[in-house]
Structure 1
């Protein structure tokens, strides 16, 4: 069926999403609960949301993004994929409480955040964990994906160059120290599994609420 022009125009594309989605999905299959609600923070174009929701149909995948253009793209991708387990995207900036209207996401079974904390101020990472601490159900999971420094060093020259590029764009951005991120989780009662090495010098971090 031919897609309406408005739908085609609204659906934005991020090439990296197609490259990393299968590797991320493999980790999510092991980390996420079999059913329940997953809140995705900073969903971006929506490509990840529809891919994961289609592959994990017993989960409700709630996308969100503070950018209106991204939310339009998420909605267009959801319509295009004809998915029933993806509600309308929410306008969430993790630094702004409440994250949504009362009763909408007061308790979730998992939170997924891909490639956000290095393209945002450190305050956003702090707010993400604080929000997860408030909302994750017992046994809930917080999943993060992206590049990290480990033991005060970059894990690859390409990540070091990427870090410089980020900091030139905004002095508050940058590749984060994994140990500092794990400490944010511990402060909220979230225990981090062994980090999972991913393609292109990235890592998956899976935090669990006891």
Structure 2
């Protein structure tokens, strides 16, 4: 069995759609970081997305745990032309597409970006590769809202629309267990 401890990076405080932009995380809540680190297995291996907000969060909770190289496959959704823009601004230009993107997630893509299905395929491949390369090892994966939500969807066999209702807070922990070919969900959005 492989256990995954999916940790959402610290907050960026951005009020726009943040995907592949390399914004830093606010890691000033050292007490929350200490509690999060203490809630993780001491012998787990840490890996993060290659975006600075995930890398810095992983650095802050790593402790004495071993570390794997950053993985671009663990990035947030690529919002393309919508990156760093607010919903109302996008809605004024392309109301049908932005509404479809949020109301019927799946195949709808931002211009030059990824759809939810694209993100899910990329995330599944990245997680499957990690599990195959490190069988039976506990892994702390410091990543992003979209990646964590996609794996929650996967574990429970939900539609994208059903999964979108789940909250994933910054500095929260979601636990998944890989058993044989299946997934089992442990804690979700746990804030120690």
- Shorter-normalised TM range: 0.3 to 0.5
* More strand as a share of residues: 1
Greater relative CO (CA pairs within 8 A, separation 6+): 2
Give the TM-score normalised by structure 2. 0.38
Give the TM-score normalised by structure 1. 0.36
